[in-house]
Amino acid sequence: MAAGQAVRGVGNRLFTLGRSEAVREALAQRSTLQTAQQLVTVLGGMKGGAMKLGQMLSVLDVDLIPEAHREQFRVQLAALRDHAPTTPFATMRQVIEGDLGPLPKVFAEFDETPIAAASIGQVYRARLHDGRAVAVKAQYPGVAEATHADLRNLALFSKLWKSALPSAADNAVLSEVTRNIGDELDYLREARSQHRVASRYRGHPFIMVPDSIEEYCGPNVLVTEFVEGYPFSRLQDLPDAERNRFGELIYRFYISSLFSDNEFCGDPHPGNILFAADGRLAMVDFGLYHHMEPEHVDFERTCLRAAGEYRADDLHELWSARGIIDPTAGVDTQECLEYVWAATGWHLLDEEITITPEFATGALVLALDPRAAEFRGMRHQLLPAEHVFSRRADLFTFAVLGQLRATNNWHRIAREWLYGEPATTEIGRALERWRAGL
């Protein structure tokens, strides 16, 4: 990719000699867009961790792309989530039959055209002999080896990051990332997780989770109930009130669940959210579903309370005692407080906030980018490994809501799990009645 960009750069410099500044700018933007298009092609073809990176980028406002072409680039990256390059069915059939045996013994019908292609597998529609419509997710051949190679490279390059972002190079953090990405390759584990979550949401008035059909699942094949519905893009086209309503449901599923159930989905992105035909939200893909020990959940809640109540000294003391702050880095109490507000202030500000892609990307950059001048001392923080994926879930839920441009007083919803207060929204009150069996 770098070589291709260099060749185009030389060609453009020669071609723009003697031309106007406007023409030079247009050609420079065209060259950058060509590089972006190549990035989509390369990430789509690599599968595994590289393709997942492309899916994650699709929910951010990517500054490296000229503003005039930014939306077009995001649409192309979104193709990695909704219409990624597919692997021929003959190849995927070998994977499915390797786990389940001959297709006709298990399925009465099987559509050979994939309905989705994700980072580690493709999804097909089929029908069991008992008449149930099902989704069949099968892993790409060799994807486990490719993903483990990505993770080995991650560890190799971590030595180069230590001076810039120590937390990303910490051995415990890398071990946690490796373990969880490895779990995503374990479809039997995912089937058990999905069944547990589907049981919890059975009969839910606003959210549905298709159940796994565990007797037809294997190490490389996951069979679940089929959801009739539409992609996330359909939600984006709804009127403001409806988008805001679905935004609250997304928040409750990805954020509130951690504090109410000590469990959460670590992979929020639009490809995992469907607009079901019955009007509910359908949540899919539980490869990165996590349980978190109650004491770690309580620690996050306690820190957010301290930040929300402007108790900077208490926050600094909590982080120091946990080893999050390097005592030699000179991070003061005010920087800790401002950092939390910059990264997670949407939970804490008691007013309506409209989340935009630019807003969400800004929070992610401030939280993670070691070049950010605002929090130079915070680049020495050491995020405990057990909080890596909960923070990822928080930041990328924010990014998904930015794609939806949802508006809400998020703090009023958060107070349910921050302080155990009664719900104040219509959806929250309806859920309280549902849980009470009323």
Mind telling me the catalytic residues?
267
Quickly list DSSP for 59-76: TS--TTS-HHHHHHHHHH
Q: Token pair for residue 410?
A: 């998020």
- In total, the chain counts a number of residues equal to 438
User: Is 221:264 a contact under the CB 8 Å cutoff?
Assistant: no
> Measured between alpha carbons, how far is 116 from 318 in angstroms, rounded to an integer?
44
CB atoms closer than 10 angstroms to residue 65: 21
Q: Rounded to an integer, what distance in angstroms lies between the CA atom of residue 405 and that of residue 342? A: 19
Best CA proximity match to 400, nearest among 272, 278, 234: 272
Strands 281-283 vs 207-208: parallel, antiparallel or unpaired? parallel
3-class secondary structure for 76-95? HHHHHHHCCCCCCHHHHHHH
Q: Which residue has the tokens 């839920």?
A: 397
273's enclosing H/E stretch is strand 273-276
Distance CA(94)–CA(88), nearest Å, equals 11
Helices and strands per DSSP (H, E), number in the chain: 20, 13
User: In whole angstroms, what is the distance from residue 79 CA to residue 57 CA?
Assistant: 11
Distances from the Cα of 417 to the Cαs of 274, 312, 425, in angstroms? 26, 21, 14
- 3-state DSSP helix/strand/coil percent for the chain, to nearest 5? 60, 10, 30
Q: How far apart are CA 90 and CA 339, in angstroms?
A: 51
Write out the two tokens for 307. Answer: 């930040």
The closest alpha carbon to 280, from 146, 403, 434, 140, belongs to: 434
Whole-angstrom distance, CA of residue 387 vs CA of residue 317:
18
Match 């600094």 to its residue by tokens: 316
Alpha-carbon distances of 74 from 59, 77, 114, 199, rounded to whole Å: 7, 5, 23, 35
